[in-house]
Chain A
Amino acid sequence: MVALGPPRTLRALLKELRYLSAATGRPYRDTAAYRYLVEAFRAHRVTSEKLCRAQHELHFQAATYLCLLQSTRNHVALHQEFHSKGERSVEEAAGAVGLKLPQQPGGKGWES
């Protein structure tokens, strides 16, 4: 995976938050996650050290959270598309091979 710089990670995270907020209808800037992320990135941006371990830690956590959000979204999308429809009914299954179920207006012989 290409090494994501902090700005790219933050932008991708905000995009994921936008997807999530599209569900609830409320603007994504209102969410606690947005406020927390923006504040965390802002707080760790300014540092005079060249090799800042805390910044690296924060960025790793941000990248991990981004992976979590992206993969959950993809997983749910794949589930919806391929695994959510359940079984076909008997009529649909017959219709798939071009057959129709028999209709006996008088009822079947053994049902009295």
Chain B
Amino acid sequence: MWRSCFRLAAGGGSFPRRPCLLPAAPLGPGSQAGLAPGLSLPRRAYAPPAERKKFYQNVSITQGENGYEINLDHRKLKTPNAKLFTVPSEALAVAVATEWDSQQDTIKFYTMHLTTLCNTSLDNPSQRNKDQLIQASMKFLDTDTICYRVEEPETLVELQKNEWDPVIDWAEKRYNVKIGSSTNIMGPDIPIKTKETFISHLASYNMWALQGIEFVITQLKSMVLSLGLIDRHLTVEKAVLLSRLEEEYQIQKWGNVEWAHDYELHELRARTAAGTLFVHLCSESSTVKHKLLQE
């Protein structure tokens, strides 16, 4: 059910993260990339178009006072709320520029996940502060996918035990907490101390990284898997596989439907990869130390 909601949003609206139905934010097609004020395009009260004609030839990166900016031809890229688009990390700027550069004929906003994440972090359209973001992330722990087990069929129970238990063990060891799993319909009973540990862990990330973390958790429907990704314990492909374990089980039993299963798989992988990359690029600081060559 979750995924069909996202698929509808991706098909019909450009930025699934934006609350498209709020009339407060300026949501005309002209606001997408900060066009000249003289250009008047028909404004609609609902979602911005999913695709737009490509109106630029060259994408370049410049360094401004607050960070790196993207230029489309000679115009500076702006967020949907008309703020100047600046990112703190050069790698992120390069990746966003590549996203814009790879569009042909039409701009498919629903494929530009890194741009969407940057826009969300810059605009904060839902106006959440750090605590609210952490609360939103923690809500997923109570019904975490890999803690929520079935009781039958037997083979699926086995599969869940073999694939998901190691990740839970890793998380319990890494964070020194108790998580456990449960077949109860209410979900696992997570002790308060565990939640406090995770809250303080999440609080150590900055706002941008938290937006990314919350995004990844929402995609995978599992906090433990997202932590595994952020700590580089799992690859994106593996994390997505674990998140979709029951679907993969059913696919193996009943067959694969390319236009549904593969479509969702690749979309989920793209979003998760974008979120993980976003978190890492926003929370790192790299220095290069040159060692002297010794003869």
Contacts and interface: CB of A to CB of B under 8 A. Distances in A.
* Chain A interface SS verdict (over half): helix
Contact of A1 (B61, B111, B237, B277): B237
B273 interface: yes
B263 A67 contact: no
Interface in A40-75: 40, 43, 48, 54, 56-57, 60-61, 63-65, 67-68, 71-72, 74-75
Interface in A66-110: 67-68, 71-72, 74-76, 78-79, 81-83
A75 B266 contact: yes
Interface size class of A (residues with CB under 8 A): 20 to 34
Contact of A20 (B94, B101, B266): B101
Contacts of B98: 17, 20, 31-33
B291 interface: yes
Contacts, number: 98
Contact of A65 (B263, B273, B286, B291): B273
A74 B273 contact: no
A78 B232 contact: no
Interface size class of B (residues with CB under 8 A): 35 or more
B259 A82 contact: yes
Given A33-B95, A36-B91, A48 B291 contact: yes
B108 A32 contact: no
A71 B101 contact: no
B111 A72 contact: yes
B263 A79 contact: yes
A1 B236 CA distance: 10
A31 B104 CA distance: 16
Contact of A71 (B60, B91, B270, B281): B270
Given A23-B104, A78-B258, A65 B95 contact: yes
A24 interface: yes
Q: Max chain B CB contacts within 10 Å: which of A17, A57, A68? A: A68
B142 to A, nearest CB: 28
Contact of A68 (B104, B238, B274): B274
Interface string B244-282: 000000000000001100110011011001101100110
Q: Max chain A CB contacts within 10 Å: which of B238, B266, B291? A: B266
Interface string B98-142: 100111100010010110000000000000000000000000000
B263 A63 contact: no
Interface of B: 11, 60-61, 90-91, 94-95, 97-98, 101-104, 108, 111, 113-114, 232, 235-238, 258-259, 262-263, 266-267, 269-270, 273-274, 276-277, 280-281, 284, 286, 288, 291
27 contacts: A23-B102, A23-B103, A23-B104, A31-B101, A32-B60, A32-B94, A36-B90, A48-B291, A54-B286, A57-B280, A61-B277, A61-B281, A63-B235, A67-B270, A68-B113, A68-B270, A71-B269, A72-B111, A72-B270, A75-B270, A76-B108, A78-B258, A78-B262, A78-B263, A82-B258, A82-B259, A82-B263
